[in-house]
Structure 1
Amino acid sequence: MSISAQEAAHRAASDAERVAWVDEADSPLGGVSRLELRQRGLIGRGSYILLFNSAGEICVHRRTLSKALYPGYWDVAAGGMVQEGESYAESAARELAEELGVAGVPLIEHAHFFYDAPESRLWCTAFSAVCDEPLRLQPEEVLEARFISIEAALSEVAHKLYCPDSLLALQRYLANRPLR
């Protein structure tokens, strides 16, 4: 599986982007490139947005093959690295607009947690949003997207590759959502 020149250029620009660098207590230390953050095993910040339609279905999407982490994996959340000087909420709004073309919708914060894996160390905040408008997928980031029930998404994990960090965001959302 190869990636296009456009995807390769997007990945190089993304690796050079300055992202928030924080300590174990999520206190800001400055900004570094994504590449440096990964190579040095530093802690960054990530935002995750669980997008639902009004029927309660969650948007799942498949990441492009050019992604540095989890290429081609399915994802239950839009999101990404918080940029230097940006809040979690600002990052969430930007990422939702960039990846899925959804802007101007209320974001509800659900959980703040630490994700620690060999490939990624992040303080994370999970948000949710509801939108019934057509999605506009960013071709450098998203191959395809669809809305399915949360139960269907959780059952797909058994036979499809899903991003483990966003699955943790979904688990935190499910544990913290208000009962109806």
Structure 2
Amino acid sequence: MNPAEEILDIVDEHDRVIGQAPRGEVYARGMRHRCAFILATDPEGRVFVHRRTRTKLAFPGMYDMFVGGVVGAGESYDEAALREAEEELGVSGLPQPTPLFKFLYEDGGGGAWWSYVYEVTVEGAVHPQAEEIDWHAFLSRDELEGKIGTWEWTPDGLAAYERWKRHR
């Protein structure tokens, strides 16, 4: 299926479902929807960082310290978190990501999405989804912090990361 045709739940300011629409329409009209953000670390605590492919609908070619994506219609945040982490990292059998907190991200252009932030530890090798990710590495927190302000990051990922640091 074309990603723009994926059906998403449209939600209100309290994260209650009020309708459904295709992803392409949701993005074009700035409709409020749901996303899962998963901070994936290796057993040493290094963070999985990647650059999104240039074909992505949102934030093409930008760096992100979270894997994840939209929550499909009728899907829970927890279901989406596990599905997205396994798909993007190219692994199976991950433990259920640990839910941490939820916040409403507003993009400044009228769009907004409820963003649930999770953590998961990845044992073993990753095989990132080529359609989603064109570069990746596990970076120490210091290495990651050194790239902020240098690389072009997804704005919602940066917002989630700043909240994650305060949450720790």
The TM-score normalised by the length of structure 2 is: 0.93
Q: 2:54 aligns with which of 42, 62, 65?
A: 65
SS at match of 1:19: strand
Measured in 2, the distance between the counterparts of 1:119 and 1:152 equals 33
Tell me how far 1:110 sits from its aligned partner: 1.0
User: Is 1:131 paired with 2:122?
Assistant: yes
Q: 2:13 aligns with which of 24, 27, 31?
A: 24
Q: 1:108 aligns with which of 76, 95, 98?
A: 98
Find the counterpart in structure 2 of residue 94 from structure 1: 83
Measured in 2, the distance between the counterparts of 1:106 and 1:41 equals 30
Measured in 2, the distance between the counterparts of 1:157 and 1:137 equals 22
User: Is 1:142 paired with 2:142?
Assistant: no
Structure 2: which 5+ residue stretches go unaligned? none
Structure 1: which 5+ residue stretches go unaligned? 1-9
Measured in 2, the distance between the counterparts of 1:67 and 1:120 equals 17
Q: Letter of the aligned partner of 1:113 in structure 2?
A: F
Measured in 1, the distance between the counterparts of 2:79 and 2:47 equals 21
4+ residue stretches of structure 1 with deviation over 6 A? none
Check conservation: 1:100, 1:136, Cα contact below 8 A: yes
Q: Between Structure 1 and Structure 2, how many residues are aligned?
A: 166
Measured in 1, the distance between the counterparts of 2:131 and 2:148 equals 24
Q: Render the CA deviation track for 1:15-52: whole Å, top value 9, x for unaligned.
A: 11001210111111132111111122210100000000
Measured in 1, the distance between the counterparts of 2:124 and 2:87 equals 15
SS at match of 1:98: helix
Measured in 1, the distance between the counterparts of 2:152 and 2:66 equals 14
The TM-score normalised by the length of structure 1 is: 0.87
Measured in 1, the distance between the counterparts of 2:139 and 2:24 equals 33
Find the counterpart in structure 2 of residue 5 from structure 1: none
Find the counterpart in structure 2 of residue 84 from structure 1: 73
Q: What is the root-mean-square deviation of aligned Cα atoms in Å?
A: 1.4
Q: Letter of the aligned partner of 1:19 in structure 2?
A: L
